[in-house]
């Protein structure tokens, strides 16, 4: 959700928007179920999720692209810039929606700059500081993926990082979108909204919980009981 647009550093003009929701999964059944809601804007994957799915990578990506007409992050597994570029170019040819996911390393940012110059969208991942996020933005990253849950795990303020990045990007006019990753629960989504995250990528389990509230359930039950008692329909 980007509520402020910059004409110049330090000047802000209000503009409405909405935070996009991506599913963080390589399980086709989960992605299919999420797609049926009509509320999913994209998908993120990583080597761990793909390994768990047990489907050849390119086959998996093509199937996901059939289900979701939006950005689909495909992470490279090469560690050197030249290898990342070669692998990334091949993945990008699979579908116009493929976004090449790169690690936040020197080689990853070298590859990011190459892809940016070639018009290929990128998602720079494993971000844990605002300075790292600044470097990714300078490399032209389309998305930066700060891992809030992993920071929480070691006693640091994951959501505080989102606020720091938002301030940095707004202050200097960077166009890179903040893709809040490693979301563990619904409150991470709430805080992402409040802090101006552009995208939240969430496990299917958390996506299912977004509408859950005991007062919604009890209220609906009461409405239906009253309707049946009144016998008006």
Q: Identify the CA nearest to 191 among candidates 19, 41, 11.
A: 19
User: Hey, which residues does 13 pair with through a beta bridge?
Assistant: 5
In whole angstroms, what is the distance from residue 197 CA to residue 204 CA? 19
Catalytic, out of 52, 101, 175, 222: 101
Distance CA 185, CA 51 (A): 24
Give the contacts of 173 (CB within 8 A, at least 6 positions apart). Answer: 6, 8, 9
- Residue 172 contacts residue 6 (beta carbons within 8 Å): no
Helix (H) or strand (E) holding 121, with range, is: none
81-92 vs 106-117: helix crossing angle, rounded to 10? 40
Angle among Cα 106, 104, 51 to the nearest 5 degrees reads 120
222 carries an active-site annotation: no
| Rounded CA separation 5/189 (Å) | 22
The catalytic residues are 101
């Amino acid at each position: 959700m980007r509520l402020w647009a910059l004409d110049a550093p330090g000047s802000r003009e209000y503009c409405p928007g909405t935070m996009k929701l991506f599913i963080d999964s390589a399980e086709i059944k989960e992605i299919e179920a999420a797609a049926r809601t009509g509320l999913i804007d994209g998908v993120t994957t990583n080597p761990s999720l793909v390994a768990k799915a047990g489907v050849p990578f390119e086959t998996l990506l093509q199937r996901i692209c059939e289900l979701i007409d939006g950005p689909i992050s495909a992470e490279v597994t090469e560690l050197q810039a030249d290898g990342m570029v070669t692998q990334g170019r091949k993945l990008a040819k699979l579908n116009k929606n493929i976004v090449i996911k790169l690690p936040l390393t020197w080689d990853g940012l070298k590859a990011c700059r190459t892809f940016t110059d070639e018009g290929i969208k990128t998602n720079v991942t494993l971000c844990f500081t605002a300075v790292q996020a600044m470097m990714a933005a300078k490399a032209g990253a389309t998305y930066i993926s700060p891992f809030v849950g992993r920071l929480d795990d070691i006693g640091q303020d994951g959501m505080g990082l989102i606020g720091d990045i938002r301030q940095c990007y707004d202050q200097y006019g960077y166009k890179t979108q903040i893709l809040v990753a490693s979301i563990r629960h619904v409150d991470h989504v709430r805080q992402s909204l409040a802090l101006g995250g552009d995208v939240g990528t969430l496990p299917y389990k958390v996506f299912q919980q977004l509408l859950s509230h005991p007062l919604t359930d009890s209220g609906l039950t009461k409405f239906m009981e009253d309707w049946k008692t009144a016998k008006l329909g």
